[in-house]
Amino acid sequence: MLLGLANRLISWIANGASGSDYTLVEAARLALSTAQKEHLPLAHVATQSGVERAPLWFAKSMLQVIVIGGRLPGTARREALTHDLLGGLTLDSDMCSLRAPGDKRPCFVDLFVIRGEFEKYIRWARTVQ
């Protein structure tokens, strides 16, 4: 399991260097658009609380399914935010940062999704019934 995670992170970092990534906001909107065009069940689930909140639903879903990236505030280094790093953090409603409950300052900012991870998410979304 650890070897698989290490290989995934190495691949993630290598693919992330290509510059072909999305902000988490863009990825969530694109996931919603794709789900609606393909009539995926997740589009219906995401719009249950209103179409305007559907991208936030997809962003939160992505946090649970794929590895996203972000930066520590005040640094330039982009990091893979694995699921163990995300435990207990809350996504801000603007989908640009993660913070611990009760904290005013975010833990991670400039959240993004590399293209390969986005494609994994869409493949997963197509399997959900």
CB–CB of 43/32 below 8 Å? Answer: yes
In whole angstroms, give the CA distance from residue 58 to residue 45: 10
- Amino acid 9: pLDDT: 53
State the average pLDDT over residues 13-20: 54
Among 108, 125, 98, which residue's Cα sits nearest to residue 30?
Answer: 125
Average pLDDT over residues 70-92: 92
Among candidates 55, 49, 117, which has minimal Cα distance to 91?
Answer: 55
pLDDT tens-digit readout, 84-120: 888 899 999 999 999 999 999 999 999 999 999 999 9
Place of tokens 């959900």: 128
Note the pTM of the prediction, 2 decimals.
0.83
